[in-house]
Amino acid sequence: MSDYSSPKGVFDIIPRESSPEGAWRETHLWQYVEEVMRKCAADYGFQEIRTPIFERTELFVRGVGESSDIVSKEMYTFEDKSGRSLTLRPEGTAPVIRAFLEKRLDQTPGMKKYFYIGPMFRYERPQAGRFRQFHQFGYEVIGDASPERDVEAIDFILEIYRRLGLKNLSVLINSVGDEKSRNDFRTALKEFLEPHLSQLSEDSQTRYQKNVLRILDSKDPNDQKLLQGAPSILEMLSPEAKAHFEKVKQGLTDLNIPFQIQPKLVRGLDYYNKTVFEITSGELGAQNSVGGGGRYDGLLKSLGGPDLPAVGFATGLERLIQTMLAEQVPLPKRPHPLIFLVPLGEKAKEACLKIVFNLRHAQIPAEIDLQSKKVGNALQLAQEMGATYALVIGDNELASGEVKIKELSTREEQLIKLSELAQFLKKVGGNE
Ligand code: HAM
| Element of type H or E holding 88 | strand 85-88
Given the DSSP bridges, would you call strands 273-281 and 113-121 parallel, antiparallel or unpaired?
Answer: unpaired
* Residue 290 CA to ligand 1 centre (angstroms): 8
One-character DSSP codes across 336-373: --SEEEEE-SHHHHHHHHHHHHHHHHTT--EEE--S-S
pLDDT in tens, 290-325: 999 999 999 999 999 999 999 999 999 999 999 999
Mean pLDDT, the chain, as a whole number?
95
Nearest residue CA, atom 11 of ligand 1?
316
pLDDT band at 432 (very low <50, low <70, confident <90, very high): confident
Over residues 240-246, mean pLDDT: 97
By most ligand atoms within 8 Å of CB, the mutation choice from 25, 280, 289 for ligand 1 is 289
* Residue 269 CA to ligand 1 centre (angstroms): 10
d(CA 379, CA 356) in angstroms, rounded, equals: 16
By most ligand atoms within 8 Å of CB, the mutation choice from 74, 134, 275 for ligand 1 is 134
Nearest residue CA, atom 31 of ligand 1?
293
**Residue 314 · residue 291 · CB < 8 Å:** yes
Nearest residue CA, atom 16 of ligand 1?
130
Q: How many residues are given for the chain?
A: 432
d(CA 285, CA 275) in angstroms, rounded, equals: 25
Q: Give yes or no for residue 161 having a pLDDT over 80.
A: yes
d(CA 362, CA 358) in angstroms, rounded, equals: 6
Chain center to CA of 61: 24
Over residues 238-244, mean pLDDT: 96
**Residue 44 · residue 51 · CB < 8 Å:** no
pLDDT in tens, 212-239: 998 998 889 999 999 999 999 999 999 9
Ligand 1 atom nearest residue 122's Cα: 19
pLDDT in tens, 12-68: 999 999 999 999 999 999 999 999 999 999 999 999 999 999 999 999 999 999 988
Nearest residue CA, atom 15 of ligand 1?
316
pTM, whole model, 2 decimals? 0.95
Pocket of ligand 1 (CB under 6 A): 91-93, 122, 124, 130-131, 134, 136, 138, 140, 268-269, 289-294, 296, 312-316, 318-319
What phi, psi does 117 have (nearest 5°)?
A: -135, 130
Q: Which residues pair with 341 in a beta bridge?
A: 368, 391
